[in-house]
Amino acid sequence: MPKLKNIKRILVANRGEIAVRAIRSIRELGGESVAIYSEGDKNSIHKDLADISICIGEAPPSKSYLNIPAILSAIEITGADAVYPGYGFLAENPNFAAICQKSNVEFIGPAPEVLEIVGDKAKAREAAIRAGVPVIPGSPPVETLKEALTVAKQIGYPVLIKAAAGGGGRGMRIAHTEQELTRLLPVAQREAEANFGDPRVYIEKYILNPKHIEIQILADKHGNVVHLGERECSIQRRHQKLLEESPSVFLTEEIRKKMGKAAVKFAKEVGYTGVGTVEFIVDKDRNFYFIEMNGRIQVEHPVTEITTGIDIVSWQLRIADGQKLPFSQEDIKQQYYTIEFRINSEDPDKGFQPNVGTIEKLYLPGGYGVRVDTHIYGGYQIPPYYDSLLGKIIVFGKTREEAIERGKRALKETLIEGVKTTRDFHLKILEDEDFLNGTHTTTLVDEKYLS
């Protein structure tokens, strides 16, 4: 494995399991890691694993992990020459990327102008159209109810109101009638403003009972772009993912190739470099439509790492270092069936309500075909300020059936006492007939387990 040559000391501008993951890869590549942490994370494991650690502020994200001046000070104090943003927080913030660029600090992600495009759903949609990638019938951002009603009448109900700057399933509302659109449009605009600081929304046709399929992209600084196949993310609640798998049993080989080529075309159209994911929805007839591109590492990246045998985080660092991809599209194969279970500190019996507290007892699974990415330990007190993700259990097998059985075994081995988690919910999904048949869609959890 070639070592890092141009970036040596990397500040990890994140926390939790992704910070741990990044620190491990930095060490393997011969670099030094700098962990930042908030006062709320003073007992977090990532600060102890890093070569250098520095507290940057109080527990609330606005005073720490989202505090750009504090992070820039940490970069200067520690002499870091690169920043690894992970996911969430500042990972897709073009302003932060631009400041790093001006400060001669390598932002490990796409260029600021690319983040401007992929972080704006309306601009990304326009880029997809230019690239010849299928998009859902819809509109540019609408400002008035009259505009929204006109678009909805043209494309037909139901329609989806989406925040132009949205992500993570937030800022979305479904309207089945003109009356619902009239009522929900201002609600969506207010939610977009509150969550993203941008009230713009746009309207698109709502595809009933779709599959959610995403394509992993690697793009180096030398013009090479490849995809690493798909992940199916149809098991989700309220548009937020819970379980991901690869390959998708729903796709034919022909559709898989078409989606991969479309994702590469989009990445080339926007001048993408680094690691990213192009997301699609797929209807019952296997027609696929572009949704968005995430300009960052995904929570579910281990699924693709195991399925293809390619270390995505390592390549994220190596691409930033200026290294060239040594493989072509033809070299990439799907070797295993892989499933990832997000273990969140949430109570599924109460609508996945976040649940914080102290982990009184912990046992994590192991054995062949099982990987665990986490930052928790026995006695760890879960802070109430951040995402509910405690870790990910990833299993693989030569067949989907083998991966499912291994998943059941791994989940049953998992013991987390002191807080409610999604462990038992995943066991339910692994017994669900629709999931086992591969006929499940993004509505399964909401309709069967939350209605």
pLDDT of residue 451: 73
Q: What average pLDDT does the segment 403-423 reach? A: 98
- More confident site: 352 or 166: 352
pLDDT of residue 168: 60
Q: What residue has token string 């983040």?
A: 115
Q: Give the C-alpha separation, 152 to 10, whole Å.
A: 48
DSSP 8-class letter at 176: S
> Quick check: 140 pLDDT over 90?
no
Q: What average pLDDT does the segment 247-273 reach? A: 98
Q: Is the peptide bond before 94 cis (omega within 30 degrees of 0)?
A: no
Catalytic residue among 125, 200, 296, 342: 296
Partner residues linked to 213 by β-bridges: 232, 280
- More confident site: 197 or 280: 280
> Quick check: 166 pLDDT over 90?
no
Q: Specify the amino acid at residue 70.
A: A
Q: What average pLDDT does the segment 385-414 reach? A: 98
Q: Known catalytic residue: 296?
A: yes
Q: Give the C-alpha separation, 364 to 17, whole Å.
A: 14
SS3 (DSSP) at 390: strand
Q: Give the C-alpha separation, 253 to 261, whole Å.
A: 12
Q: Which domains, ranges and CATH numbers included, belong to the chain?
A: 9-108 (3.40.50.20), 137-205 (3.30.1490.20), 211-448 (3.30.470.20)
pLDDT digit string (tens) for 213-251?
999 999 999 999 999 999 999 999 988 999 999 999 999
Partner residues linked to 288 by β-bridges: 282
> Quick check: 386 pLDDT over 90?
yes
pLDDT of residue 114: 98
Q: Give the C-alpha separation, 233 to 277, whole Å.
A: 12
pLDDT of residue 138: 87
Q: Are 106 and 83 in contact (CB under 8 A)?
A: yes
pLDDT of residue 139: 86
Q: What average pLDDT does the segment 110-134 reach? A: 95
pLDDT digit string (tens) for 172-192?
899 999 999 999 999 999 988
> Quick check: 165 pLDDT over 90?
no
Q: Give the C-alpha separation, 59 to 56, whole Å.
A: 9
Q: Give the C-alpha separation, 234 to 209, whole Å.
A: 10
Q: Report how far Cα 29 is from the mean position of its chain's Cα atoms.
A: 24
Token pair of 410 as six digits: 């791994």
Q: Rounded mean pLDDT of the chain?
A: 96
Lowest mean pLDDT segment, chosen from 113-117, 199-203, 283-287: 199-203
> Quick check: 167 pLDDT over 90?
no
pLDDT band at 121 (very low <50, low <70, confident <90, very high): confident
Partner residues linked to 231 by β-bridges: 214
H or E segment to which residue 361 belongs? strand 361-363
> Quick check: 440 pLDDT over 70?
yes
Q: What residue has token string 């201002």?
A: 186
Q: Give the C-alpha separation, 9 to 14, whole Å.
A: 15
H or E segment to which residue 243 belongs? strand 240-246
Q: Are 343 and 393 in contact (CB under 8 A)?
A: yes
Partner residues linked to 294 by β-bridges: 277
pLDDT of residue 196: 83
pLDDT digit string (tens) for 297-326?
999 999 999 999 999 999 999 999 999 999
Q: What average pLDDT does the segment 7-17 reach? A: 98
pLDDT band at 296 (very low <50, low <70, confident <90, very high): very high
Q: Give the C-alpha separation, 362 to 39, whole Å.
A: 24
